[in-house]
A and B are shown apart, each in its own frame.
Chain A
């Protein structure tokens, strides 16, 4: 790749619904290391091939720590404290280990029954109120909020406030810094309570690690607990539940296949994750700390690279019929949760919640359909995650 390449404006376009811009596929085959300009920050590379994406995400020569203090390519003007995702190993390892322990596959399976009980309760309410109903408001939002509140030990009564902060943090809102301060203040109070009265929940464990092991700074503690677990644990799953249900309702052959063979649910979740990006636009550029020859070209020391996870997830070198939903893939090594040191800390929790959500919806709504076609569906706008904020369904 040479520096006289065309510089494309990025994100490419706002594609409606759950599809992605075809430019990703075009670039992957013709210009896999493209030059892009985001709304803010310096020009950077965009990698769209699976192998390159994995290399950038795992090779220690690509650094997140080196991005700090740079004019990072970004979607909104403000530069915020990045917390755990702004660090490289070994500093990153220290934080990741603490938070990760609560979210291993084994621990997550231990709360699967609780999650199922919570899911049933919300569906009971929904059915009691009668068809039609908004699946987002009545299920997709409160379900993951309740699970994460129980896990973290945060009062569920405060959920209305989380929602304001959550949506604020993932929007390009000018109020961003106010929301961050309010959230940190709120978490600070909960932390102070645990110093008075220790608890067994995840927040209590993090406070203990901070106070006894001196393994966390106060800001790290608040960042992990507040942004890292509470907000990302809610906004992600609450967006993907309606994304997935919308996909199934608009592709009846997939819904029928899943109803006919429920053992496909885990594989269906993986395939829906592969095909439907939570956020189509790439974020968190890595900076090369030395010259690196990628399969698709040279990245020079000091240059930033963004990776397109949706691009990688549809790479025909890795996936047969990559543009097709296929719940029977034998191998599905998608990178929807990222890859390498920053691989989503909550991936196992998200998988479990999405599986429980799909099972519950299939069980309880045998005749589920869109209540008013696409007129009953509205989509989040201006946010960093994409999905329905209203999904009117009938049963």
Chain B
């Protein structure tokens, strides 16, 4: 990341989420399991590879990470 103020958005599709907790294990600073489903701790986060991993590892592909400014999809990779 070049710009220091780059922000990412982390969103969870709560219908798709089955609450495995894999994401919270990979990115405990950004994602928690709340009432049995994954939930982002904040709507935006500083860039961190851990949230990319969390989105890539979700077996339900329920987590999406985007660049906050451009909306570009960062994860999961297809």
Contacts and interface: CB of A to CB of B under 8 A. Distances in A.
Interface in B28-60: 28, 33, 36, 50, 53, 56-60
B59 A340 contact: no
Most chain A C-beta atoms within 10 Å of own C-beta, residue among B28, B36, B59, B61: B59
Interface in A313-354: 331, 333, 337, 339-343, 347-348
Nearest to B33: A58
A11 interface: no
Contacts of A16: none
B33 A106 contact: no
> What is the size category of the interface that chain B forms with chain A?
10 to 19
B20 interface: yes
Contacts of B58: 104
The number of chain A residues touching the other chain, given as a range, is 20 to 34
Contact of B26 (A93, A331, A339): A93
A104 B19 contact: no
Interface in A54-109: 54, 57-58, 60, 89-90, 92-93, 96-97, 100-101, 103-106
A363 B23 CA distance: 37
B10 interface: no
A347 B26 contact: no
A335 to B, nearest CB: 9
Contact of A96 (B19, B24, B57): B57
B20 A104 contact: no
B57 A93 contact: yes
A342 B59 CA distance: 12
B53 A340 contact: no
A89 B60 CA distance: 20
Contacts of A57: 21
Nearest to A106: B61
B61 A54 contact: no
B25 A348 contact: no
A86 to B, nearest CB: 15
B12 interface: no
Interface of B: 19-22, 24-26, 28, 33, 36, 50, 53, 56-61
In the A-B complex, the 6 residue pairs with the closest CB atoms? A341-B25, A340-B21, A343-B20, A340-B25, A339-B21, A333-B36
18 contacts: A54-B33, A57-B21, A58-B33, A90-B50, A93-B50, A93-B57, A96-B22, A100-B56, A100-B57, A104-B59, A104-B60, A337-B20, A340-B20, A340-B21, A340-B25, A342-B25, A347-B20, A348-B60
